[in-house]
Amino acid sequence: MSLAIVYTRAKLGIEAPLVTVEVHLSNGLPGLSIVGMPETAVKESKDRVRSAILNSHLEFPARRITVNLAPADLPKEGSRFDLAIALGILAASGQLPAAALDDYEFIGELALSGDLRGVDAALPAALACSRADRQLIIAQANASEAALSRATKVFSAENLLQVCAHLHQREFLFQQAPDIPPLQITDKDIADVKGQYQAKRALEVAAAGGHNLLLYGPPGTGKSMLAHRLPGILPPLDEQDAIEVAAIYSIASRKQRQHWYERPFRSPHHTTSAIALAGGGSNPKPGEISLAHHGILFLDELPEFSRHVLEVLREPLENGAVSISRARAQVTFPAHFQLIAAMNPCPCGYHGSERCQCTPEQVRRYRQKISGPLLDRIDMHIPVRALKCGEVHQPRNGDSSAVVQQRVIEARKTQLQRQGKLNRALSASELEDICALDKAQQHLLDDAIEKLGLSTRALHRILKLALTLADLQGKSRPDQQTISEALGYRTLDRVRFQ
């Protein structure tokens, strides 16, 4: 048979579209040509494939070989098609049974010796392979990652000869079992934070409803310490969410996280560029906000970030996704993250005390780095004050992270049973249906709008906060107390950095 068809997967954002490798052998001058919109790395595969076949003691046909990567309008990049092309050539030349290829998909880079090397984006390919009801043969380096998709039968191979022996049913490849690490208990306990009762309360509220949080205060007051304790009070990821996070790390060519069920915590430096934060590049890859999917993005020293970089956050905070358009393709990366930010009240950090040497103009420029629209999207603005002398020497106080986490889990369970989503994700119409306000509550919010100049977005975020507070207290709907407390958490609407 001079025509063979092999299945593999391309990489396009978080998707893994099917690529059909069609190999045809015809009469004419010997040569190998690849068509179907291949980039340079794909075009170079013909040299790798030829050497791998010969060094595996197989026959490379001395005929005209045409390889078509379909669909032709899908850009093909990387070395992931090497194995599929080699198997197509062997099947078209009669060295492999063509019928044996129908139930499999193949992904892997070939070394000149015929050994198989790993590629990126193996997990999205495995997930797509299971939906197509096929089995996956992949390099041993990618096997454990691909096997995270429990529904996929994943076979690992070290070289081309092992794959050929498996297809001939002479020697069978090892089927990789999923190796998911157990849930790890973090050693960063919220009870380690001394004092800061309001900030710890705000952290619990933020965890319960998935709200964004800004901590501001002098240096050394525990802002970063508080932020790093948020993962310990959040519920662990379920398996579906953990797979989504792992797929993003696979696309980004990052090592899989050791703590599989723990929510990701990303803390980029303030010199981070807009592309590194949001994602992009000529071949788009996910940025920090997508790597924080279903987890936390912590921005320490918030005003030190470029204003242009911070404005990138505005759309993902609303939509939970990042769309990147390039000439060759448009990709969308998920970005359902929780923003936690920390900052000083002025460049030196000691605004309002005798230690502060900042001029009013320096303070104004420092504060203006955070735009009103971005600040509007942060639900809670919490001052973190310096501890008094006696508080520093106090023993551990307050509930442990495990106790707080249980309250957070119960509050989230209430939200999921009531509306199928967290409070932060409620639309304006859903919020109005759930939070039916009486006249006294309407009057309280009207006064706040008039005196604080709140936007409609800020008003909705206050109601979402009040609903989360009600859920934590076991109330069916917000009351006067919870609305007043929610208003108290937006201090920057009232006064800028006292």
Residue 337 has what pLDDT? 96
Dig out the tokens for 362 from the structure: 């320096």
In this predicted model, which residue has the larger pLDDT, 497 or 178?
178
pLDDT at 391: 63
Q: Does 95 share its domain with 201?
A: no
Cβ-based neighbours of 292, under 8 Å, separated by 6 or more = 264, 265, 266, 335, 337, 338
Please tell me whether residues 261 and 303 are part of one structural domain. Answer: yes
pLDDT (0 to 100) of residue 495: 46
Q: Are 170 and 211 members of one domain?
A: no
Q: What is the pLDDT of residue 316?
A: 93
Whether residue 119 is found in the same domain as residue 253: no
Task: Confirm whether 481 is domain-assigned.
Answer: no
- CA distance linking residue 121 with residue 285, whole number of Å: 11
Instruction: Count H helices and E strands in the chain, helices first.
Output: 22, 19
Residue 354: pLDDT band (50, 70, 90) is confident
Query: What percent of the chain is modeled with pLDDT above 70?
Result: 95
Give one DSSP letter per residue of 174-191, joined into a string.
Answer: EEEPP-PPPPPPPS--GG
- For the residues 6-33, what does the mean pLDDT come to? 93
Residue 421's pLDDT is 93
260 — pLDDT class (breaks 50, 70, 90)? confident
pLDDT at 440: 86
Please give the mean pLDDT across all residues of the chain.
89
pLDDT digits (tens, 9 = 90+) for 35-68: 998 988 888 999 999 999 999 999 999 999 999 9
Euclidean distance between the first and final Cα of the chain, in Å?
Answer: 80
Structural domain contains residue 213: yes
Let me know whether 288 and 394 are in one domain: yes
* 70 neighbors 22 (Cβ within 8 angstroms): yes
Between β-strands 64-70 and 18-26, what pairing exists: parallel, antiparallel or unpaired?
antiparallel
Containing structural domain, residue 48:
3-176
What pLDDT was estimated at residue 379? 92
Q: What are phi and psi of 393, to 5 degrees?
A: -95, 5
Q: Examine residue 375 and state whether it is found in any structural domain, yes or no.
A: yes
Same domain, yes or no: 128 and 227: no
pLDDT of residue 254: 74
Q: Are 227 and 215 in contact (CB under 8 A)?
A: yes
State CA 485 to chain mean position distance.
Answer: 32
Instruction: Report the pLDDT value the prediction gives residue 498, as an integer from 0 to 100.
Output: 43
Instruction: Give yes or no for residue 476 having a pLDDT over 90.
Output: no
Domain boundary among 385, 404, 423: 423
- The structural domain count of the chain equals 2
Residue at 288 is within a domain: yes
- CA 432 – CA 439 distance, rounded (Å): 14
Local confidence band at 496 (pLDDT 50, 70, 90 cut-offs): very low
pLDDT at 360: 86
pLDDT band at 493 (very low <50, low <70, confident <90, very high): low
Query: Which residues, 6+ apart, have CB-to-CB distance to 455 below 8 Å?
Result: 376
Cα–Cα distance for residue pair 9/147, rounded to 1 Å: 16
Give the Cα separation of 496 and 370 in Å (integer): 12
C-alpha span between 449 and 22 (Å, rounded): 65
Q: Is residue 445 part of a domain?
A: no
Residue type, 342: A
Q: Which residue has the higher pLDDT, 219 or 195?
A: 219
161: pLDDT strictly greater than 70: yes
What local confidence, expressed as pLDDT, does residue 9 receive? 96
* CA–CA distance, 231 with 263 (Å, rounded to integer): 6
Q: What is the 3-state secondary structure (H, E, C) of 220-270?
A: CCCHHHHHCCHHHHCCCCCHHHHHHHHHHHHHCCCCCCCCCCCCCEECCCC
Among 151, 176, 201, the domain boundary falls at: 176
CB 213 within 8 A of CB 176: no
| Predicted local confidence at residue 497, as pLDDT | 42
Would you state the pLDDT for residue 184?
Answer: 65
Amino acid letter at 78?
G
| For residue 34, pLDDT beyond 90 | yes
pLDDT of residue 8 exceeding 90: yes
Rg (CA), the chain: 28
Helix (H, G, I), strand (E, B) or coil at 5: strand
Closest CA to 49 of 77, 69, 7, 79: 79
Three-state DSSP class for residue 202: helix
- Asked if 219 and 302 sit in the same domain, the reply is yes
CA-based nearest residue to 278, from 268, 457, 120, 214? 268
> How confident is the model over 294-339, as pLDDT tens digits?
999 999 999 999 999 999 999 999 889 998 887 667 889 999 999 9
Residue 482 lies in a domain: no
Tell me whether residue 273 is exposed, middle or buried, using C-beta atoms within 10 angstroms of its C-beta: 0 to 12, 13 to 18, 19 or more.
middle
* Same domain, residue pair 12 and 82: yes
Residues 197, 104 share a domain: no
The amino acid sitting at 33 is S
pLDDT at 442: 86
- Integer Cα distance of 274 and 265 in angstroms: 19
Is 70 exceeded by the pLDDT of residue 361? yes
CB 472 within 8 A of CB 407: yes
Q: pLDDT at residue 105 above 70?
A: yes
Write out pLDDT tens, residues 416-457.
Answer: 999 999 999 999 889 888 888 888 888 888 888 887 778 888
Statement to judge: residues 51 and 154 lie in one domain: yes
For residue 138, give the H/E element and its range: strand 135-139
**CATH number reported for the structural domain that contains residue 161 in this entry:** 3.30.230.10
* Residue 242 lies inside a defined structural domain of this protein: yes
Same domain, 200 and 93: no
